[in-house]
């Protein structure tokens, strides 16, 4: 992986936030309903989930054309 790949992944991450917010919100609501998650922890789950999903989508977008 080159520096250009890392830069492109970070560039792709910002538009992927649009697609990553909905799954993170659903995950936070599910954990709150089933496990009694506090509001503070729900926000942490939603923000970290959004970042993880966005980075995953951006990485896939960068390297999907190789195969």
**Each residue's pLDDT tens digit, 16-29:** 999 999 999 999 99
* C-alpha span between 12 and 61 (Å, rounded): 8
Please tell me the total count of domains within the chain. Answer: 1
What pLDDT score does 1 carry?
Answer: 79
For residue 24, give its domain range. 3-63
User: What does R_g of the chain's alpha carbons equal in angstroms?
Assistant: 14
State pLDDT tens for residues 27-41: 999 999 999 999 999
pTM reported for the whole predicted model? 0.84
Q: What is the DSSP letter of 65?
A: T
**Above 70 in pLDDT, residue 67?**
no
Percent of the chain surpassing pLDDT 70: 97
**Above 90 in pLDDT, residue 50?**
yes
């Amino acid at each position: 992986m080159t520096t250009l790949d890392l830069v492109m992944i970070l560039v792709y991450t910002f538009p992927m936030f649009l697609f990553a917010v909905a799954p993170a919100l659903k995950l936070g609501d599910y954990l709150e309903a089933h496990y009694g998650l506090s509001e503070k922890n729900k926000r942490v789950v939603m923000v970290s989930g959004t970042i993880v999903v966005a980075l995953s989508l951006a990485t896939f977008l960068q390297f999907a054309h190789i195969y």
